[in-house]
Structure 1
Amino acid sequence: MTSKSGSISSQEEISLWDISAPEAIQYAPLDGDVETEVAIIGAGFSGLSTALHLAEKDISCRVLDANKVGFGGSGRNCGMVNPGIWLPPQDVRKVLGEENATTFLNAMGDAPDYIFSLIERFNIDCEATRNGTIHAAHSKSGFKELTGRAEEWIRRGRSVELLDANKAKEMIGTARFHGGLLDCQAGTVNPMGYARGLAAAADSTGAMIHEKTEVTKLTQQGDKWLVRTNQGNVLANKVLLATNAYSDDLWPGLKQTLTHIHFYQVATEPLGRLADKILPGGQSVWDTGLVMFSVRKDKFGRLIVGSMGKLAGKNDCGSEYWAQKQLTKMFPELGLVKFEKSWHGVIGLTPDHLPRIHNPATNLYALAGFNGRGITTGTIFGKAMADFFTGMPEGDLLVPITKIKPDKGALIREPVYEGCFKAWRFYKSI
């Protein structure tokens, strides 16, 4: 079902990662009508992880994607393999209770170990680097927040280090931040390379992957599901919607469960020795600001700068101007730089910032709300769904299964957030 030759045309390149990752395998569209145990809609981290772990259990499955592997948030990600979630661990305890929070936080805290073990086991070529990540304090209040996170993680036995301003300056290469929180378990990858590696691993283990196969309708037939596509039909015992922030109206209300925000990134050309003193230890950085800012390097010496919002200006020139301003403030020794690629993706936020496993109908499930932590959450929740589909008790899932409940406030928040992001970018560009 796969072709090892030929790369996807340049017109379809969605991010820097799409260009710099190893050449993609092209998976053939569905060809006619088939049957399978599990139909998985979406070839991102969660769908591919589910497929890989099902195939390892000799369960037949088909992954269907309207575009290509990693086309959604997976191929546009920052590439940070961070433990946990955005929500501080003490807040998770408030939402889930101590016992459930401990199970959840332990699993998500160990997630980088599992991701890097998959990378090693399947020899995934994705620029994997495991030197930690730094959550940087943009202000004194930000450092206070990080202090609370550090205390809670240390109480739970995690290996984290609170950095003062001088140590943060040494590790990041700028005096901009008031300190930081170093998580030694974390790391970075080329996210498209990781997605392609998961796909190749799933394919080699027995899962079937079909690109350019758009699902148009789901119809329940007794205890089975008929998945209609533009290339044929799939009759499945179970269906998993693994489209997260890229969900459409295929299943009523699913898209409306999330607040959709954009996150854009701008990558410089390789900087060579100019960038040697910037993040010399190979860590990546994101900050505590309300409008998050991130910066990392890839293995070719590019700097990738990101923040919330859509790309701006003709040919993305507004976003590049903003990125140049930030780099000049942080690393004035760089001078003017040239930019190679700009792109943006969509993040799906839930009201409590915890992921969701929805069960809107018998044998139909949906994963949603990764809240900006797609690599770890998608991989771990995909594995959990494979375990659940093969007999693991529902009570052992990391979050309770829920019905779909649209978030009515999302329609108001989305344009308000985007307006705030634009105003912030304008202010920071002055």
Structure 2
Amino acid sequence: MLNDPRSHGLWEKTAPAAPVTRALDEKVSADVVIVGGGFTGISAALHLAEAGRRAVVLEGAEIGFGGAGRNVGLINAGMWVMPDDLPGELGDVHGERLLDMLGNAPRLVMELIERHGIACELERNGTLHCAVGEAGLKEITERAGQWQRRGAPVTLLDAVETAKRIGTAAYAGSLLDMRAGTLQPLAYVRGLAKAASAAGATFHTASRATSYTRSGSQWTVRTDGGSVTAPWVIVSTDAYSTGPWESVRREQVHLPYFNLATRPLSPQLLSSILPGREGVWDTKEILSSFRMDQGGRLVFGSVGALRNTGRAIHVAWAKRALKRLFPALGPVEFECEWFGEIGMTDNALPRFHRFAENVVGFSGYNGRGIAPGTVFGRTLAQLVLGDIGEADLPLPQTDPKTPAFRPVKELYYEAGAQIAHLAGERL
């Protein structure tokens, strides 16, 4: 996007076209103005439009420009935090409510895809959280037990079954989560936008919000070319926030993450590497993830930014890592490469903010945006519609707070990933 092949890589190459939009160049009114064209904002627009409300979406760049169009494409249930730890972090009411909502969130994603006929390479065969060594096995065993006690369809697999499903003996075991799956994220968010547009929502791209003011019960959100006036504002800009809601970006520490896609693999390799098309990530602190796309390309990613010295280091590391995991691949060449930023909060949990009366938003997805973003978008629509109140939300209201030494931490993550990958996989 924006003439940068490393912003969305394979996803832009293979996604259906986005709906036709234009920049805002006039003054308009609506029931709700939504700032941000990712999973949360577009899900909110879809659910509001289906309820008969006039929803106008302002996107500063293009639909899916932020994390929505760059991520790995894993439809995960839950967050990074262990299930039993959420009540301690959020209190019993919000903790259990969030667990229930996010545990069921992949189902909403898949239902929307089916209902609206979204062509986004949906795979329903689950995900595999893979254990690296004994420490990793202990972690996923505990996680499996906590989810199973809540009735979730998760299964702990031994090393033999894991190797059969993935095609490598590198892992001590894995946690199979059948609630989860994979999709083509840019295709999904564009498909959501087409569905929302068909339901009556309006989209304006290249329309970055620059300010907002209130007059009576109405808010006016301005861009360089026009404005939208509405009684409600939904802020869904998350880690890519700028302008009036830059505090959302400042609240998060950015973690760079890259993905590389091979050329389509041969039928023989496809029969032995991820034959079930599960999405995979491991338990390393600097984790790796991989999955197959519908065209038979292996998409492999990890922490790091493909810029400056980082590009050569991360690409070389990925080739070594894939050679160790899947020797039958032979010499690996990558067809596409791209990266983006994951916004990390201090407790790895999302946030609900009320910036002013009737100005609300969720943020802080910590690399788990597809399912949470979709379900939180619906939740915001329900709040605006009056179907629920703030007391019914899955998160308590908090004010954005900038963590100490945020810029230093971001430099540390980017440089640390380069150091780790420069030395990694050389044995």
With the length of structure 1 as denominator, give the TM-score of the two structures.
Answer: 0.95
Task: Measure, in 2, the Cα distance between the counterparts of 1:341 and 1:331.
Answer: 19
* Alpha-carbon shift at residue 411 of structure 1 (Å): 2.9
- Alpha carbons of structure 1 residues 168 and 56: separation in structure 2 relative to 1, 3 Å: same
* Alpha-carbon shift at residue 293 of structure 1 (Å): 0.6
* Alpha-carbon shift at residue 313 of structure 1 (Å): 5.6
Query: Contact 2:132–2:171 at 8 Å: present in 1 too?
Result: yes
1:302-381 aligned within 5 A: 302-312=297-307, 316-381=311-376
Residue in structure 2 matched with residue 110 of structure 1 by the alignment: 104
Query: Contact 2:313–2:418 at 8 Å: present in 1 too?
Result: no
SS at 1:401 equivalent: coil
Residue in structure 2 matched with residue 167 of structure 1 by the alignment: 161
Query: Contact 1:31–1:231 at 8 Å: present in 2 too?
Result: yes
Residue in structure 2 matched with residue 40 of structure 1 by the alignment: 34
Residue in structure 1 matched with residue 117 of structure 2 by the alignment: 123
Residue in structure 1 matched with residue 55 of structure 2 by the alignment: 61
* Moved beyond 6 Å, runs of 4+: none
Task: Measure, in 2, the Cα distance between the counterparts of 1:251 and 1:115.
Answer: 27
Task: Measure, in 2, the Cα distance between the counterparts of 1:214 and 1:249.
Answer: 8
- The one-character-per-residue Cα deviations of 1:46-100 (angstroms, maximum 9, x if unpaired) are 0100100111111111001111110111000100001111111112122123343
- The one-character-per-residue Cα deviations of 1:222-261 (angstroms, maximum 9, x if unpaired) are 3322211122111121111111110124235332111111
The letter of the residue matching 2:393 is: L
* Residue 380 of structure 2 corresponds to residue 398 of structure 1: no
- The one-character-per-residue Cα deviations of 1:377-409 (angstroms, maximum 9, x if unpaired) are 100110000001111111111101222222224
The letter of the residue matching 1:146 is: I
Total equivalences in the alignment: 423
Task: Measure, in 2, the Cα distance between the counterparts of 1:48 and 1:290.
Answer: 32
Task: Measure, in 1, the Cα distance between the counterparts of 2:2 and 2:249.
Answer: 30
* Alpha-carbon shift at residue 146 of structure 1 (Å): 0.5
* Alpha-carbon shift at residue 190 of structure 1 (Å): 0.2
Residue in structure 1 matched with residue 408 of structure 2 by the alignment: 412
The letter of the residue matching 2:218 is: K
Query: Contact 1:355–1:371 at 8 Å: present in 2 too?
Result: yes
Task: Measure, in 2, the Cα distance between the counterparts of 1:354 and 1:223.
Answer: 32
Task: Measure, in 1, the Cα distance between the counterparts of 2:246 and 2:210.
Answer: 13
1:25-424 aligned within 5 A: 25-251=19-245, 253-273=247-267, 274-312=269-307, 316-391=311-386, 392-424=388-420
* Alpha-carbon shift at residue 197 of structure 1 (Å): 0.7
What do you get for the CA RMSD once the two structures are aligned? 1.7
- The one-character-per-residue Cα deviations of 1:326-350 (angstroms, maximum 9, x if unpaired) are 1100000111022111110111111
Task: Measure, in 1, the Cα distance between the counterparts of 2:241 and 2:165.
Answer: 39
Task: Measure, in 2, the Cα distance between the counterparts of 1:99 and 1:235.
Answer: 35
Query: Contact 1:245–1:368 at 8 Å: present in 2 too?
Result: yes
SS at 2:186 equivalent: helix
SS at 1:213 equivalent: coil
Residue in structure 2 matched with residue 4 of structure 1 by the alignment: none
Task: Measure, in 1, the Cα distance between the counterparts of 2:406 and 2:85.
Answer: 21
Query: Contact 2:304–2:314 at 8 Å: present in 1 too?
Result: no
SS at 2:257 equivalent: strand
Query: Contact 1:312–1:318 at 8 Å: present in 2 too?
Result: no
From 412, 419, 422, the equivalent of 1:426 is 422
Query: Contact 2:209–2:243 at 8 Å: present in 1 too?
Result: no
Q: Aligned residues: percent identity?
A: 41
- The one-character-per-residue Cα deviations of 1:178-235 (angstroms, maximum 9, x if unpaired) are 1110001110000001001110010000110111112121222233222111221111
SS at 1:168 equivalent: helix
1:10-25 aligned within 5 A: 14-25=8-19
Task: Measure, in 1, the Cα distance between the counterparts of 2:377 and 2:330.
Answer: 44
Greater Cα shift, 419-428 or 247-256: 247-256
Query: Contact 2:235–2:360 at 8 Å: present in 1 too?
Result: yes
SS at 1:114 equivalent: helix
Task: Measure, in 1, the Cα distance between the counterparts of 2:225 and 2:394.
Answer: 35
* Alpha-carbon shift at residue 23 of structure 1 (Å): 2.2
Task: Measure, in 2, the Cα distance between the counterparts of 1:275 and 1:318.
Answer: 27
Task: Measure, in 1, the Cα distance between the counterparts of 2:180 and 2:229.
Answer: 40
* Alpha-carbon shift at residue 119 of structure 1 (Å): 0.2
* Alpha-carbon shift at residue 296 of structure 1 (Å): 0.6
Query: Contact 1:38–1:237 at 8 Å: present in 2 too?
Result: yes
SS at 2:247 equivalent: coil
